[in-house]
């Protein structure tokens, strides 16, 4: 699916992964780490497996996301061993053979049964650690030190800053998703497509099936745009398609993009608010600079949203009053965004350092996923929103603050659902790289 990165970039990346493991093993007092790709999970009393989801720690080592029962066994300073499970199983298509572009960096040992991995453990390893999810003791190769916190904190922190290889993958993931978003926007613009049909247009534009997506897409027409994690796909088109919110990504070697766009079929207040939110979102993207504290960007977003509500006359009274009364948080109840990488909500957002010192979460926004200052080569999402969510707005309507909103405007907006605009942005000194806008521009 993806163009292969230059081998040199991958090798540079691998050197960084090895160095991170050297240090993580050091803090854990180990000389060997075993990183498991993961095992299939089966439905209760059934022989059907859920879609395989690779352990991100495994995918950090090598661009393999679809091979269960495999292990990287790394002993400090030595060539990592890759135990690669190619089952002797005529019922299923076996995984692809290891690709020399990355496999050359490993001592590859093909096994046909998961339990054979154990014989590849280096003898006399000192206090080896296991990183991953073992459903059974055998999957942990008999190791007892599973996921020690000190090592995980070190690795989580190390994974926040991306290597050149990883940034290439993430640019690619944005590029693939931008193509699919364009197809989805066209399917909406046709006017008579259902959510299901638009979703299919997204997938087929990039030859995806659902299981290829980094997370289940959110594809909502009209009021459904206000359901934050809307998971249905109406098979029937609505009578009138007024608005469309799509939050959907793509991936390259396991690295995700996470992109949201909102469209209006008609001019008017909702379309004006989309334009206002786009301007707001771009202003916040411009603040994604090294040293900026993401908590402050989140708070600043509420200030900008309050101003937009006032300027558009949805809000009455001052911008400050809209914030202090909690109204901006009823209209935008989620966080500004999160780290992005091998995991869509990537790790490390709540620790200040490689020791795992927790960062403080703002009292006003305890669910914010990213609560630390930003550093070069981290990738974050910036995803402000504006929604008409009845349960939250009813609480405002029934409160002493009810006069701070123009309820006629809220009524007019309700059939349009909501707005979210989400880009993926790399921290690069004081000139942020917007992977998503660049990807759309390159189409
Ligand atoms: N698509 C999940 C998120 O935006 O966080
Ligand atoms: Mn998203
Ligand atoms: Mn997101």
Q: Which residues of 154-189 are buried (b: 16+ CB within 10 A; e: fewer)?
A: bbbbbbbbbbbbbbbbbbbbbbbbbbbbbbbbebbe
Q: Which residues of 203-240 are buried (b: 16+ CB within 10 A; e: fewer)?
A: bebbebeeebbbeebbbbbbbbbbbbebeebbeebeee
pLDDT for 175: 98
Q: Could you report the per-residue pLDDT of 112-144, keeping only the tens digit for each? A: 999 999 999 998 889 999 999 999 999 999 999
pLDDT at 4 over 70: no
Compute the distance from residue 199 Cα to the ligand 3 centre, in Å: 18
pLDDT at 85 over 60: yes
CATH code of the domain containing 97: 3.40.350.10
Collapsed DSSP state (helix, strand, coil) of residue 160: helix
Contact 294, 381 (CB under 8 A): no
Compute the distance from residue 375 Cα to the ligand 1 centre, in Å: 21
Residues 219 and 134 in one domain: no
pLDDT at 266 over 60: yes
Range(s) of the domain holding residue 89 = 7-158
Q: What is the percent of the chain with per-residue pLDDT over 70, rounded to a whole number?
A: 99
Domain boundary among 131, 158, 185: 158
Q: Give yes or no for residue 101 CB within 6 A of ligand 1.
A: no
pLDDT at 428 over 60: yes
Residue 67 lies in a domain: yes
Q: Give yes or no for residue 383 CB within 6 A of ligand 1.
A: yes
Residues 182 and 152 in one domain: no
- The minimum-distance atom of ligand 1 relative to the CA of 383 is 4
Residues 49 and 97 in one domain: yes
Q: Could you report the per-residue pLDDT of 146-200, keeping only the tens digit for each? A: 999 999 999 999 999 999 999 999 999 999 999 999 999 999 999 999 999 999 9
pLDDT at 79 over 70: yes
pLDDT for 2: 47
Contact 371, 295 (CB under 8 A): yes
Compute the distance from residue 258 Cα to the ligand 1 centre, in Å: 6
Q: Give yes or no for residue 423 CB within 6 A of ligand 1.
A: no
**DSSP alpha helices (H): ranges in 332-434?**
390-397, 407-413
Q: Into how many domains does the chain fold?
A: 2
Q: Could you report the per-residue pLDDT of 299-335, keeping only the tens digit for each? A: 999 999 999 999 999 999 899 999 999 999 999 999 9
- The minimum-distance atom of ligand 1 relative to the CA of 215 is 1
Q: Give yes or no for residue 228 CB within 6 A of ligand 1.
A: no
Confidence of residue 355 (pLDDT cuts 50, 70, 90): very high
pTM of the model: 0.97
CA atoms of 345 and 370, how far apart (whole Å): 9
Confidence of residue 28 (pLDDT cuts 50, 70, 90): very high
Residues 408 and 261 in one domain: yes
Residues 414 and 370 in one domain: yes
Query: Which protein residue has the closest C-alpha to ligand 1 atom 3?
Result: 258
Q: Give yes or no for residue 216 CB within 6 A of ligand 1.
A: no
Confidence of residue 91 (pLDDT cuts 50, 70, 90): confident
Domain boundary among 97, 128, 158: 158
Domain boundary among 111, 140, 158: 158
pLDDT at 67 over 70: yes
Residue 2 lies in a domain: no
> By CB neighbour count within 10 A (0-12 exposed, 13-18 middle, 19+ buried), where does 51 fall?
exposed
CA atoms of 64 and 152, how far apart (whole Å): 21
Query: Which protein residue has the closest C-alpha to ligand 1 atom 2?
Result: 258
């Amino acid at each position: 699916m993806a163009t292969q990165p230059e081998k040199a970039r991958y090798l540079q990346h691998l050197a960084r992964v090895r160095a991170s493991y050297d240090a993580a093993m050091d803090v854990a007092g180990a000389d060997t780490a075993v990183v498991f790709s993961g095992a299939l999970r089966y439905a209760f009393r059934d022989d059907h497996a859920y879609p395989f989801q690779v352990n991100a720690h495994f995918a950090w080592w090598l661009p393999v996301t679809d091979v269960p029962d495999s292990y990287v066994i790394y002993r400090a300073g030595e060539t990592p061993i890759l135990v690669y499970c190619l089952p002797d199983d005529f019922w299923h298509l076996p995984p692809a053979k290891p690709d020399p572009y990355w496999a050359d960096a490993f001592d590859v040992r093909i096994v046909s049964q998961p339990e054979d991995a154990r014989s590849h453990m280096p003898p006399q390893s000192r206090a080896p650690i296991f990183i991953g999810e073992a459903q059974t003791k055998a999957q942990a190769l008999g190791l007892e030190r599973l996921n020690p916190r000190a090592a995980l904190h070190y690795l989580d922190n190390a994974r926040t800053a991306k290597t050149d290889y990883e940034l290439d993958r993430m640019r690619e993931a944005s590029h693939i998703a931008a193509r699919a978003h364009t197809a989805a926007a066209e399917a909406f613009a046709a006017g008579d497509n259902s959510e299901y049909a638009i979703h299919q247009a997204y997938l087929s534009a990039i030859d995806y099936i659902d299981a290829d997506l980094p997370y289940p897409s959110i594809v909502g027409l009209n009021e459904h745009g206000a359901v934050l994690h809307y998971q249905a796909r109406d098979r029937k088109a609505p009578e009138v398609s007024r608005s469309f919110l799509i939050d959907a990504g793509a991936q390259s070697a396991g690295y995700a993009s996470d992109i949201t766009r909102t469209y209006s079929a008609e001019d008017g207040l909702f379309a004006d608010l989309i334009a206002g939110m786009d301007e707001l979102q771009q202003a916040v993207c411009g603040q994604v600079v090294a040293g900026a504290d993401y908590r402050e960007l989140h708070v600043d977003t509420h200030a900008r949203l309050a101003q937009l509500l006032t300027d558009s006359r949805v809000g009455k009274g001052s911008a400050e009053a809209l914030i202090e009364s909690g109204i901006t948080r009823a209209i935008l109840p989620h966080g500004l965004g999160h780290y992005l990488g091998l995991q869509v909500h990537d790790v490390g957002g709540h620790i200040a350092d490689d020791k795992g010192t927790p960062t403080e979460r703002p009292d006003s926004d305890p669910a914010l996923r990213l609560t630390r200052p930003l550093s070069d080569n981290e990738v974050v999402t910036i995803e402000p929103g504006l929604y008409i969510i009845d349960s939250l707005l009813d609480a405002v309507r029934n409160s002493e603050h009810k006069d701070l909103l123009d309820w006629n405007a809220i009524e007019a907006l309700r059939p349009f659902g909501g707005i979210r605009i989400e880009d993926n942005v790399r921290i690069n000194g004081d000139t942020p790289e917007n992977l998503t806008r660049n990807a759309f521009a390159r189409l």
